[in-house]
């Protein structure tokens, strides 16, 4: 396990909200991260649909993890956005985030969210997160 993978996994496991959600970090490369969760009834919005706020959480979180892989500088989220493309209904939700541009002042990331079912992936949402790099104190 390389250094950045260790960092992302430890950060993920340290957050109680991520543990409640059961977020698992399933892939870490420099510039891209995959996470997934298993559906539970208590995540529902309309019956069987993953709550829009949790769709956003999975996207923003995976984006943030991808940012961790490209810089050691401290950075915070400026903004994030989510598009709901198809009903977020399924047993496994897989978030695949990547860094679009990592700069000195800002990091731009994007993420696709898939439902995995019977070994097939279906894109149900996508989104973006922009991070602002904090100057050293």
Q: How far is the CB of 123 from its own copies (least distance, A)?
A: 7
**CA nearest to 3, candidates 63, 69, 54, 95:** 69
Contact pattern for its own copies over residues 31 through 60, marking x by CB under 8 A: ----------xxxxx-----xxxx-xxx-x
Q: Which is nearer to its own copies, 13 or 20 (CB)?
A: 20
Name, in order, each residue with C-beta under 8 angstroms of 32's C-beta and a sequence gap of 6 or more. 66, 69, 96, 97, 98, 99
Q: Which is nearer to its own copies, 5 or 51 (CB)?
A: 51
- Segment interacting with its own copies (CB under 8 A) among 2-10, 25-33, 65-73, 81-89: 81-89
- Segment interacting with its own copies (CB under 8 A) among 1-9, 28-36, 90-98, 99-107: 99-107
83 binds its own copies (CB under 8 A): yes
Alpha-carbon torsion angle 80, 123, 54, 24, nearest 10: -100
15 binds its own copies (CB under 8 A): yes
Contact pick of 13, 85, 92, 117 for its own copies (by CB under 8 A)? 85
- List contacts with its own copies (CB under 8 A): 15-17, 20, 41-45, 51-54, 56-58, 60-61, 64, 76-86, 100-101, 103, 105-106, 108, 123, 126, 128, 130, 132, 134-135
């Amino acid at each position: 396990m390389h250094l950045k993978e260790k960092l992302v996994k430890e950060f993920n496991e340290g957050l109680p909200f991520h543990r409640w959600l059961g977020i698992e970090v399933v892939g870490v490369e420099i510039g891209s991260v995959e996470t997934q969760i298993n559906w539970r009834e208590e995540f529902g919005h309309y019956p069987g649909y993953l709550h829009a706020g949790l769709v956003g959480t999975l996207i923003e979180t995976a984006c943030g993890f991808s940012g961790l892989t490209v810089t050691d500088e401290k950075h915070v989220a400026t903004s994030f956005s989510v598009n709901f493309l198809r009903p977020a209904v399924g047993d496994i939700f897989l978030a695949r985030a990547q860094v679009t541009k990592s700069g000195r002042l800002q990091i731009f990331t994007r993420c696709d969210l898939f439902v995995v079912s019977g070994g097939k992936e279906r894109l149900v949402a996508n989104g973006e997160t922009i991070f602002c790099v904090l100057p050293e104190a």
